[in-house]
Amino acid sequence: FVVILPDTDLNAAVETIQRLQRDLTKKFFLHNNEKVLVTFSAGVALRLANEDQEDLLGRADKAMYQAKQAGKNRVVAAN
């Protein structure tokens, strides 16, 4: 999924996603009467001047895979 944070710089976007991660890990969800902990890895990218949407999403996707490789449930900012 994609989260768009208008008028937000890269550091604030990373902090926002990290806060969402923390909030989700404080709660369990029920599925088939079993407790499930939700975690996720995220790549965060700031749109560069004149960057097309495909390139932006590609950089965010690459950062997400770096987050997964770093140990999962992490946030990585794209270069």
What would the pLDDT profile of 5-16 be if each residue is shown by its tens digit? 999 999 999 999
- pLDDT for 23: 94
Q: What is the pLDDT of residues 27-72, one digit of tens each?
A: 899 999 999 999 999 999 999 999 999 999 999 999 999 999 999 8
Assigned token pair, 16: 């926002």
Q: How much is the pTM?
A: 0.86
Task: With CA atoms as reference, report the closest residue to 44 among 73, 22, 64, 71.
Answer: 64
- Please say if the pLDDT value at position 78 is more than 90: yes
* Cα(67)–Cα(28) distance, integer angstroms: 23
- pLDDT for 60: 97
- pLDDT for 72: 86
**Domain 10-77 homologous superfamily, CATH:** Reverse transcriptase/Diguanylate cyclase domain (3.30.70.270)
- pLDDT for 1: 85
Residue 44 main-chain phi, psi, to 5 deg = -120, 130
